[in-house]
Amino acid sequence: MADATDEQPDRGGEVIKVASLSKSYGERLAVDNISFTIGKGEIVGFLGPNGAGKTTTMRAITGYLIPTEGEIWVADCNIRKDPLKARQHIGYLPETIPLYTEMTTRAYLGFAGKLRGLDSKVAQRRIDEVVEVCQLEEYLDVLTGKLSKGFRQRVGLAQAIIHDPEVLILDEPTVGIDPLQVVQTKAMIKELGRKRTILLSTHILPEVSLICERVIIINQGKIVAEDNIDNLSKILNTRKQLRLRVNGPSDQVRESLSKIEMLLDVSYHEPHHLLEFERDQEPQAEVNQVLAKEGWTLLSMEEVEMSLEEIFVKLTKAAEVEA
Ligand SMILES: Nc1ncnc2c1ncn2[C@@H]1O[C@H](COP(=O)(O)OP(=O)(O)OP(=O)(O)O)[C@@H](O)[C@H]1O
Ligand SMILES: [Mg+2]
């Protein structure tokens, strides 16, 4: 990688590059040879179940953890060779925010600015700016130890952007906060993403589809999928799913439906039967016939797309089977 001497070096749009990253804790391989890149201005969701390796990867990107293998570049700086320079480009909201509970919000942000090497005039201006972005005006003189979880998260976000970094690494920015504040936090992240590159981790899938254009799904230390959200749904929706409501005894209905030759799977989730077929099949007429023959009434029949939730479960389950 070339040195970033120019003000705006040409990075081919790549701001974060993770190459063959692995991290072991003793015997345990927490991250297993993963690679990905994130382009300038992208907001990418980093998804995975508990223990998948999200925090470990984020700590490696931010230089808080030394990888067992692999290289990472942020804004053309190699994290291992040039950690201080790389970290100037990065704002980090860790999983657990290291707040000093005896400091007020104002004092804490001043301290964060100092740590980032801002002179006091610049720090003051930046504090005003981040307080406005994170809507902390009313909490400036409150001890951080007395803030609610949601406002602590906001102070965490404020310290992450105090030096106006172009890259933000946010580890579960909305965990544990109430639905109303989640809405506000999402709006804040979207706003921050207008001129920054963001990688954020979460467990909450619908949330990701609202904030992020693209997702990287990790499970047991390996990347199991990486695409934009629409494509992920399309690729995984290789099957056609029909959801029926039938006026008949559910066990017998299932039994009869299971005789349809092109059927791949049938299950009952009260009050619906869910039928799976290959994408290109047209089974509706036959389903109708089977039910009519038994004298049951079809109350509704609709084709359904797999939800993001189902896709996630399917991907992470498939990976477990292969492991
Ligand atoms: N300091 C550590 N020492 C030993 N093992 C660790 C350490 N940190 C993480 N691990 C292990 O590494 C694996 C990945 O953990 P990591 O915290 O990266 O997962 P995560 O995806 O962030 O999970 P969560 O959603 O629960 O935050 C887990 O099996 C975890 O137990
Ligand atoms: Mg974590």
Q: From ligand 1's centre to the CA of 182, what distance in Å?
A: 24
Kindly give the number of the ligand 1 atom that is closest to the alpha carbon of 31. Answer: 14
For the stretch 257-295, pLDDT in tens is 999 999 999 999 899 999 999 888 899 999 999 999 999
Predicted confidence band of residue 6 (pLDDT cuts 50, 70, 90)? very low
Least confident of 28-37, 170-179, 229-238: 229-238
| Residue 154 CA: distances (Å) to CA of 109, 128, 151, 174, 319 | 11, 14, 5, 10, 35
Q: Parallel, antiparallel, or unpaired: how do β-strands 297-304 and 239-247 relate?
A: antiparallel
For the chain, what is the mean pLDDT? Answer: 88
Is 50 exceeded by the pLDDT of residue 7? no
Q: Which amino acid is at 24?
A: S
Token pair for residue 265? 């799977």
Which residue has its alpha carbon closest to ligand 1 atom 1?
25
Could you tell me where the beta strands, DSSP code E, fall in the chain? Answer: 14-25, 28-39, 43-47, 69-74, 77-78, 90-93, 167-171, 197-202, 214-219, 222-228, 239-247, 265-269, 272-278, 297-304
Q: From ligand 1's centre to the CA of 30, what distance in Å?
A: 7
Token pair for residue 307? 């939800």
pLDDT at 13: 84
Across 7-11, 57-61, 212-216, 300-304, the highest mean pLDDT is recorded for: 57-61
The partner residues of 190 in beta bridges, in order of sequence, read: none
Task: Compare 165 and 204 and report the one with higher pLDDT.
Answer: 165
- 119, with CB counted inside 10 A (0-12, 13-18, 19+), is exposed
Q: From ligand 1's centre to the CA of 51, what distance in Å?
A: 5
The partner residues of 171 in beta bridges, in order of sequence, read: 201
Are 219 and 48 spatial neighbours (Cβ–Cβ below 8 Å)? yes
Distance CA 277, CA 265 (A): 7
Closest CA to 173 of 149, 196, 195: 149
The whole-number average pLDDT for the span 126-141 is 95
Token pair for residue 192? 């921050």
Closest ligand relative to 93 C-alpha: 2
Token pair for residue 220? 């047991």
Answer whether 0.85 is exceeded by the pTM: no
Residue 162 — φ and ψ, nearest 5°?
Answer: -60, -35
pLDDT at 80: 95
The whole-number average pLDDT for the span 287-308 is 89
Predicted confidence band of residue 237 (pLDDT cuts 50, 70, 90)? low
pLDDT at 289: 94
Predicted confidence band of residue 122 (pLDDT cuts 50, 70, 90)? very high
pLDDT at 284: 94
Q: Whose structure tokens read 């970290």? A: 87
CA 140 to chain CA centroid, nearest Å: 30
Domains belonging to the chain, first-starting first, are 15-233 (3.40.50.300), 238-304 (3.30.70.100)
Least confident of 108-112, 175-179, 272-276: 175-179
Task: Compare 60 and 187 and report the one with higher pLDDT.
Answer: 60
Token pair for residue 231? 């494509």
Residue 48 Cβ < 6 Å to ligand 1: yes
Q: Which amino acid is at 112?
A: A
Three-state secondary structure along 79-135? CCCCHHHHHHCEEEECCCCCCCCCCEHHHHHHHHHHHCCCCHHHHHHHHHHHHHHCC
Is 70 exceeded by the pLDDT of residue 59? yes
